[in-house]
Amino acid sequence: MPLPLNPKSKIRLEKFATEGNPPYNFSQNPKLKRVVIGVGGGIAAYKVCELVSTLFKTGVEIRVILTRSAQEFIKPLTLATLSRHPAYTDDDFWQPTHSRPLHIELGEWADVLVIAPLTANTLAKLAYGMADNLLTNTVLASTCPVLLAPAMNTDMWEQIAVQRNWQQLLTDSRYHGVDTASGLLACDRVGAGRMAEPPEILVYIQSLLHTQGKRDLAGKKVLISAGGTREYLDPVRFIGNPATGKMGLALAQAALHRGASVTLVHGPANWDVPLGVQAIPVVSAEQMQQVMQEYLANADVIVMSAAVADVKPRDYSTEKLPKRSLPQVLPLEPVPDIVAQLAQLKQPHQLLIGFAAQTGDIIKPALEKLQSKKLDAIVANPIDQPETGFGSDLNQAIFLDKQGRQVEIAPCSKLQMAHQLFDFVKSF
């Protein structure tokens, strides 16, 4: 993690912000991830504050560039304070430096470059390779992945020229786009053009830092199950488990960011579906089975990360049962074994990956499941370790495959584990 500012550096930052004296310093720890964030002129610029603040807390080094129009919405001092480094403007671009031009230094320094909000004006410049300010010159002076988060009025976003520029830019493998959302815009219009929220942009940045922008799942269709299922006794009581679907969500995000077409079949969840993911909500194991089998034929990779119930009440009451009417012994019956059925139906070119949530010895039962259900790979998941498993933002596991490979994954974010799983299976 970057060290807090010492008094001298804080004084230097305040001096820079007020007098425009740019202390270009690119000699930080080379092991830290480096992100340059370009801020365009739009009301969505205020969202960048949350993005910068969160990135810094995760240990990422940040440099911020503001266009002239961006400064009408947000001040350089705000982003300089949040990033713990002076924010750059066009005034810095045209000043002589101590060594090399600023846009060259920034372009070579960055591991990922982000533009949020991306305006129609900057989009057009990038689409045609134009560079007339610090931000666009830095883009052309860099070779790292560029993440674009557009934001504009619905009519502007839907213009033929704007959509042509957007699609043209995304044909360049360097550029990655976060789809716009629909909702209430600052102009009081309700429609498309709303910038993606900071958490979604942050996840995409983390993916790009892992993959370095490679789309190694491009052209692939990935089918993922997530979350727990619920088997109801009556309208208010059910047999279930504490699965939240966060692991499946991370798998969907990772696959999407690596270029895949993603279908996510999930149980009841308390999170937003990523833009660009086809999501199909279900409740029971039977419903999940039906949807997974319906979409199986078109999938290249199937990841069964859902925590499916093993049994369900034999009888269901359409009305809530009075407490006195609840059975002392609840008759149960098994639910469909979804992953075993998928294994029987899958074709040789398809990969089927299962999950095994276990306590104690996790390898033996995972190997038994791998073999008995004829899976290509399985994730042995300890759920009795602190800060991992159900509901946690972190996870740890051992990956096993039918060739006998075993790879231990130390505790990490579920997004990191998702990417490591795709790294593991892409060599099949």
State residue 187's pLDDT score: 73
Q: pLDDT by residue (tens digit) across 84-141?
A: 999 999 999 877 766 789 999 999 999 999 999 999 999 999 999 999 999 999 999 9
Shared domain for 267 and 188, answered yes or no, is: no
Shared domain for 207 and 274, answered yes or no, is: no
Which structure tokens are listed for 365?
């039962």
State residue 21's pLDDT score: 37
State residue 8's pLDDT score: 35
Structural domain boundaries, residue 322: 221-425
84 within a domain of the structure (yes/no) = yes
User: For residues 373 and 353, what is the distance between their CA atoms, to the nearest angstrom?
Assistant: 10
216 within a domain of the structure (yes/no) = no
State residue 27's pLDDT score: 42
State residue 23's pLDDT score: 41
Domain boundary among 186, 211, 236: 211
Domain boundary among 149, 178, 211: 211
Which 3 state secondary structure label does DSSP give 346?
coil
User: For residues 277 and 290, what is the distance between their CA atoms, to the nearest angstrom?
Assistant: 19
Shared domain for 171 and 281, answered yes or no, is: no
- Decide: 393 and 418 in contact? Cβ < 8 Å: no
Largest CA distance in the chain: 83
Shared domain for 185 and 232, answered yes or no, is: no
276 within a domain of the structure (yes/no) = yes
Domain boundary among 180, 211, 242: 211
Shared domain for 150 and 277, answered yes or no, is: no
Output the domain CATH number for residue 249.
3.40.50.10300
Which structure tokens are listed for 244?
């939240």
Shared domain for 200 and 260, answered yes or no, is: no
Shared domain for 138 and 254, answered yes or no, is: no
State residue 288's pLDDT score: 97
192 within a domain of the structure (yes/no) = yes
241 within a domain of the structure (yes/no) = yes
Strand runs (DSSP E) across 111-249, as ranges? Answer: 112-118, 146-150, 175-177, 181-184, 190-194, 221-226, 231-232, 238-239
Active site residue 187: yes
2 within a domain of the structure (yes/no) = no
| Mean pLDDT, contiguous 10-residue spans, the chain (428 residues) | 34 34 45 91 95 95 97 96 96 79 95 97 96 97 97 92 96 94 75 88 96 95 97 95 94 97 96 92 97 97 95 94 91 94 95 93 94 95 84 92 94 95 89
State residue 5's pLDDT score: 34
Shared domain for 225 and 156, answered yes or no, is: no
133 within a domain of the structure (yes/no) = yes
State residue 383's pLDDT score: 86
Shared domain for 159 and 237, answered yes or no, is: no
Q: pLDDT by residue (tens digit) across 178-187?
A: 988 877 777 7
Q: Which residues are known binding-site members for CTP?
A: 310, 320, 336-339, 355, 369, 373
Contacts 24+ apart (CB under 8 A), 341-350: 341/289, 341/293, 342/292, 342/293, 342/296, 342/302, 342/304, 343/373, 343/374, 343/375, 344/374, 345/293, 345/296, 346/296, 346/302, 349/300, 350/296, 350/299, 350/300, 350/301, 350/302
Shared domain for 376 and 231, answered yes or no, is: yes
Q: Which residues are known binding-site members?
A: 310, 320, 336-339, 355, 369, 373
Shared domain for 167 and 193, answered yes or no, is: yes
1 within a domain of the structure (yes/no) = no
State residue 160's pLDDT score: 97
State residue 98's pLDDT score: 60
Provide the whole-model pTM: 0.88
State residue 259's pLDDT score: 96
What are the helix and strand counts (H, E) for the chain? 15, 19
Output the domain CATH number for residue 39.
3.40.50.1950
Shared domain for 357 and 411, answered yes or no, is: yes
Provide the domain count of the chain: 2
